[in-house]
Amino acid sequence: MLNEPRFPQGVEVERWKGFIKPHRVGLELKMIAEGLSPFCWSNGPGYRYSPHRHSRTQILYVLEGSITFTLPDSQAEVELRIGDRLLLPANVLHSAVVGSQGVTCLDAER
């Protein structure tokens, strides 16, 4: 979880602590056990998401590559790498830029 006070309340990042990279099926099963319906998406290097909000809480795991999320309202950013998890509460303004190797993520909303 983030200890950085600049991040909006409720934003959480869990860093992958395993010695081997996570397996997609294992993370999908974990998300399903949490009552989520995960889907997979990918983007190429440098792809940019303009600032936007989601009407529901977003839960995201990085499977490959990296992506940097920026939270304009708090002027904070966080780079997510393989295995990292982001919980982004509903209505938090954010943008993102995909890293130099592209990114593949598992994503779900609740």
- Is the distance from CB of 97 to CB of 66 less than 8 angstroms? no
- Report yes or no on 78 lying in a domain: yes
Q: Label residue 91 left, alpha or beta by phi (over 0 means left) and psi (-120 to 50 means alpha).
A: left
Which CATH number belongs to the domain containing residue 16 in this structure? 2.60.120.10
Output the CA–CA distances (angstroms, integers) from residue 50 to 15, 61, 64, 96, 108, in the order listed. Answer: 25, 20, 21, 7, 19
pLDDT under 50 in the chain at which residues? 1-5
- Report yes or no on 2 lying in a domain: no
Tell me, what's the pLDDT at 8?
74
Tell me, what's the pLDDT at 55?
97
Tell me, what's the pLDDT at 7?
72
- Is the distance from CB of 71 to CB of 77 less than 8 angstroms? yes
- Report yes or no on 6 lying in a domain: no
Q: Domain residues for 85? A: 12-109
Predicted TM-score (pTM) of the model is 0.90
- Report yes or no on 7 lying in a domain: no
DSSP 27-55: HHHHHHHTT---EEEEE-TT-EEEEE--S
Distance CA 16, CA 93 (A): 24
Domain count across the chain: 1
Tell me, what's the pLDDT at 38?
98
